[in-house]
Amino acid sequence: MRILGIDPGYATTGFGLILSDGPVLKLLQYGVVTTPKDLPFPKRLEMLFDDVTRLVEVTAPDAAAVEELFWGHNITTGIGVSHGRGVILLALTKAGVPIFEYTPMQVKQAVVGYGKAEKRQVMDMTRRLLHMEKVARPDDAADAIAIALCHARSQTSLLAKLQENAGRQQ
């Protein structure tokens, strides 16, 4: 399964594409999608939509894992990121990619085994699980890879298999 992890934003959106074949995980590609600060906000959203649409065409994911927003101290930035996240979800939906959403705590739990792990712990464990020489940069890309890993590990869990089997019986 090809999983596209996305760390949403409107200025910088991280992405990470992994291949998950049961316990075997392989990093295929990662990076960021950016929009110029000097563009009007609606134009930045349009550019983000177009770039995510192209990203999906190029990477051909079987699923997308998108981080749910965590509201920090800056509400103004959070609102802009919310708009960006909506545009990303729209691009994925229009492309027919199944979307799975995870909170930051779920990502930390799936990758590190502790929902309150520090960012550096998540980045280091991501590096180890994917046999990378160094942590991915920028941070947005590293976060996106961790989100993709979260989905891969969630899909191989016993609970996921039980839910899948229950769905088949209905």
Catalytic positions, written as ranges? 7, 67, 140
Instruction: Return all residues near 125 (Cβ < 8 A) that are at least 6 apart.
Output: 111, 112, 117
Angle between helices 75-94 and 41-59 (to 10 degrees): 40
Contact 55, 95 (CB under 8 A): no
CA-CA distance, 94 to 8, in Å (whole number)? 17
The candidate with the shortest Cα–Cα distance to 15, out of 71, 53, 42, 70, is 53
